[in-house]
Structure 1
């Protein structure tokens, strides 16, 4: 005889079990259905990088205080020579930034496609790479009025089967920079079905590819004629006589949703063209080939060598003593003396790091004219400042900014700004917050505050000083090997 309680339990269990199975099935079905739909919708939401550019126009740039431009590292665009920043695009951009009342930050790239991505992501504001305007590129950005004209030429070695006619490129391989207009130009000449041409895109810059041609690593590349002519003046084995395309306008690129910036750039180009500034600058970098040769082939050029100054060795030794990247210390030395050990300021500061006589004596410098002694005197002073700020600013990258400002204006003034930052509820460990109050030390409301001990100061000068050094250091860091 079956237990009636057990019988009822089995009868109750079956509906509950079936209900559970049905519920699980429905839940799984819904999950699959809506999960797939969600995935589909998510994929549908994906857009190309140029379709929704970051909203950031001229007013935002001015409020931020600096403009960011993408440039190429080449003998005509941007490079370092004896510690100094040079280049056609660089000088144009510096002039533009000055006219806008902002500072200039450079981003060094050779990949044009990557430059357009940075532009649309809001990490750059201008792509200043002498871009030819094409239908494809108009999707990525708007373009300024022409800043010049350029044609394209084949770069090859004179030795070993010189190509003198485009038809001779049949079945050849040409290496070009990634994202360059050269690809479509070469494709235009190979539209004939019987004309086969291999195009290899590389992440190398234009002058890097020219060097590979010279060293016989590759046979051919294509570059702007202006740049090719500059290089051919100091490389006898370089032939740049075969034109791939005729002259066409080149311009700078800005985001499609930055009309005010575009308008301002166009106005600036028109004015500088009319004044003759563009023509003068063009002659400096493209027509004066002798000077350009010495600048770009010097051991003290970021293109021809890897030295910043004749004092690199002692700067490296001093930087090791300090615990800094030697290129950061070199940036400070350039800012102070431009690597001239005999430089003397109006106030009487001398040497590579421009120390006052009392500071030289305090930090053990017996001969102010000796580059190494005066440099080490400055390093000892920097170590003193590092010790002063170490407990207050434990993060080393932030502390360096406090040290540099203190070196320029005195740590008493920077300490006053540090105290004001705490008083007004900001974070005293961040230079961005402290620098704000340092700039306010020209305002009586702040420099007469009871917690301020050092009084009035032109704090904005020290803030710009720090930024100048860090901008220069960024270029040294990118273009000069450690």
Structure 2
């Protein structure tokens, strides 16, 4: 009984006073995961074929808007990946400490979260050349009294993002000015905390000045005038034992900054308040809503018939038509799922520009492909990849690759093996093989197509609720 009372008292104390400025918390929870980071540098990443980057889901960093992946960090990382000759895999992670853990354990290669370059983080990772500067401001509702000195905040509660540099900045202020703040660390990101200030759920938060300016530009009830810390360099983080990757990123950054590319992207996401408003308030934004397209309901019906996650079918629709029901390719493919005229007719589509007919025609074709592969590829997650490749290039070419995998003693139930032979179907040694029935094909385009759809799906699955 006494133990229960003690625990309840502790909970009450934390609820009332928040997190105080002591080192004990970090001493207790911090693993020494950074002392022996996994050995994984640029050569291994390029050989693997993709680079993994951790980002935020925010109105400036990375988000889905009308089905399209967007964001300042996203566009920079996509450009970097192309420069390095690899594909980009994104990891959405709001927990900063977990991000450093994943980096050092090799689950990620870059943390692109606009970190302030600060000595308290030097043991966790190396930092790239600065991408810019970040100042820190206090954000509060403008119906509160103005702040003329730090003493005006004595005894106040300030909610901040967990493991951000803001706590160290506020603790320093407490010491310098002899005030007492109740600092509540939250797993929410800065965008979400600013929204809570806007709605009156919390009184104060701290944020990057530029991010706060973006929010204040379309939320007129926010005040962001009180500076917590002056500008400091911000950069990305990489493992301490990945010098080649760090050097390559720095060289790319220098070139892109010199060309004006970085400045142009910065203006696009941070200086256009109208676009920022729509990105942050639209039902079709992963920051504010949970819709991908105007056709979500019919996509969900089609996905039910397939037994698919509707976000996977939405990824295929985006890849095919960008959710444009009137889209028509140079080859004559039409509608949301870009079916050719002969396929439209075969699967009962009279009007390919009618979203429902077009979508269901494509679903019926996908059901046909599912039946084609079901006995050969019984595992559903593997089979989806065979279906997607068949949708793109035709099931005859994929079947050829399946036969080649069997001939060369590989497990033909696995897409990883079959996709290798599909990619080889542009070489005479393989497309002239007696087991090949459909001849030459640029199979690598279908392999890339499958990867593209699944990467889009991963983004939708992470940012959009089922």
Q: By the TM > 0.5 criterion, same fold?
A: yes
Q: 2:359 aligns with which of 375, 381, 384?
A: 375
Q: Deviations over 1:108-142 (max 9, x none)?
A: 01111111011001000000001011222110100
Give the conservation status (yes or no) of the 8 Å contact 1:81–1:296: no
Q: How do residues 210-289 of structure 1 correspond to structure 2 at under 5 angstroms?
A: 210-289=194-273
- Give the conservation status (yes or no) of the 8 Å contact 2:170–2:228: yes
- Aligned counterpart, 2:14: none
Aligned pairs (5 A) from 1:306-455: 306-455=290-439
Which has the larger Rg?
A: 1
Q: CA deviation at 1:199?
A: 1.4
Structure 1 residue 266: deviation in Å? Answer: 0.3
Alignment of 1:294 onto 2:284: no
What are the superposed Cα offsets for residues 71-99 of structure 1, whole Å, 9 maximum, x if unpaired?
00111100111000110000000110011
CA distance in 2 between counterparts of 1:185 and 1:420 reads 62
SS in 2 for 1:175: strand
Matched residue of 2:51: which SS?
strand
Aligned with residue 167 of structure 1, among 151, 169, 176: 151
RMSD: 1.2
| Contact map agreement 2:366 2:387 (CA 8 A) in 1 | yes
Number of aligned positions between the proteins: 437
Work out whether residues 295 and 301 of structure 1, in 8 Å CA contact, stay in contact via their aligned partners in 2: yes
1:462 aligns with 2:454: no
Alignment of 1:11-160 (within 5 A): 48-160=32-144
Paired with 1:400 and 1:159, the residues of 2 have a C-alpha distance of 54
Q: Distance in 1 between matches of 2:315 and 2:454?
A: 8
Q: Once the 2 structures are TM-superposed, how far is the Cα of residue 165 of structure 1 from its aligned partner?
A: 2.9
Aligned-residue offset at 1:211? 1.3
Question: For the residues of structure 1 that align with 2:316 and 2:209, how far apart are their CA atoms?
Answer: 37
Partner of residue 5, structure 2:
none
Please report how far the alpha carbon of residue 210 of structure 1 lies from its aligned counterpart in structure 2 after TM superposition: 1.0
Tell me, yes or no, if the aligned pair for 1:413 and 1:438 is still in contact at 8 Å.
yes
Could you tell me which runs of 5 or more consecutive residues in structure 2 were left unpaired when the two chains were aligned. 1-29
Between the aligned partners of 1:274 and 1:112, the Cα distance in structure 2 is: 30
Structure 2: how far apart are the matches of 1:328 and 1:299? 19
Give CA-to-partner distance per residue, 1:441-466, whole Å, 9 cap, x none: 11111111110111111111111111
How far off its partner does 1:233 sit? 0.7
Cα-to-partner distance string for 1:201-253 (whole Å, 9 max, x where unaligned): 11111111111112222111111011100000111111111110000000000
**SS in structure 1 at match of 2:122:** helix
State the alpha-carbon separation in 1 of the partners of residues 46 and 32 from structure 2: 28
SS in structure 2 at match of 1:253: strand
Q: 1:222 to 1:193 in 2, by over 3 A?
A: closer
Residue 141 of structure 1 contacts residue 253 of structure 1 at CA under 8 Å; is this kept in 2?
yes
Contact 1:156/1:162, CA 8 A, preserved across alignment: no
- Per-residue CA shift, 1:277-297, capped at 9, x if unaligned? 111111111111112212221
- Match of 1:246, SS state, is strand
1:419 CA displacement: 1.2
Q: Secondary structure at the match of 2:425?
A: helix
Call closer, same or farther: CA 1:205–1:461 in 2, change over 3 Å.
same
Structure 1 position 304, deviation (Å): 2.0
TM-score normalised by the chain length of structure 1? 0.89
- SS of 1:264's equivalent in the other structure is helix
SS in 2 for 1:442: coil
- What are the ranges of 5 or more consecutive residues in structure 1 without an aligned counterpart? 1-45
1:173-188 → structure 2 map (5 Å cutoff): 173-188=157-172
Measured in 2, the distance between the counterparts of 1:47 and 1:247 equals 30
- Point out the more displaced range, 253-262 or 418-427: 418-427
Which piece of structure 1 moves more, 54-63 or 195-204? 195-204
Compute the displacement of 1:47 (Å): 7.0
Contact 2:141 2:223 in 1 (8 A): yes
**CA apart distance, 1:164:** 4.1
- Runs of 4+ with deviation above 6 angstroms: none
Q: Deviations over 1:270-329 (max 9, x none)?
A: 000100111111111111111221222111111121111111111111111111111111
